Amino acid sequence: MCANPRHLPDGIEVACHKCWQCRENRINDWVGRCIAESKTARATHSITLTYGRDDAGIEDHLRAALLTYSDVQKYLKRLRKDGYPCRYFVAGEYGSEKGRAHWHLIIFWQDRVPEHELNRRFLQKHWTHGWSHWELPSYASIRYVMKYISKDIGVAERQGHVS
């Protein structure tokens, strides 16, 4: 239920899509979609992709300063090219301590699953910018990724991109 509903001229009450309750509903809708998608996938993983050091190993990779979606697109393209078809949800985030960019993905594998290690960071050939960290998704990890929908909407509203 919306905490701040709007009323149309014909008297119909509609959700505002901006209040805390509408945002919670939106997050819950996306969590439900992810859970439903995971039921039809061969396997599902929660993956964090981080940016490591530069090629010389001296300082943070330049890409750690900005969320560059094309990096994720290329990662997914490399996976698919190697025979790992997947569907996904992705959200970018800046770390709370150093402000470094990283990506959270929920990946739904349609067939084969690439070689990986669970619950520890490792170098994966498909992600060429740093570390991968794979986990089996839980409700909490899916919800963590989905909350960025709400967070991104708030930022977009403040910047005047959402009405």
Domain parsing of the chain, residue ranges? 43-158
Among 92, 96, 99, 66, smallest CA distance to 151 is for: 92
Query: Could you list the pLDDT tens digit for every one of the 163 residues in the chain?
Result: 888 999 999 989 999 888 889 888 989 999 999 999 999 999 999 999 988 765 555 555 666 678 889 999 999 999 999 999 999 999 988 888 877 888 999 999 999 998 887 888 778 889 988 888 999 999 998 998 888 766 655 555 555 544 4
Q: How do strand 101-109 and strand 6-7 relate by DSSP bridges?
A: unpaired
- Topology at the third CATH level for domain 43-158: Alpha-Beta Plaits (3.30.70)
Query: CA end-to-end span of the chain, whole Å?
Result: 20
Among 44, 49, 94, 41, smallest CA distance to 74 is for: 49
Entry field: residues in the chain: 163
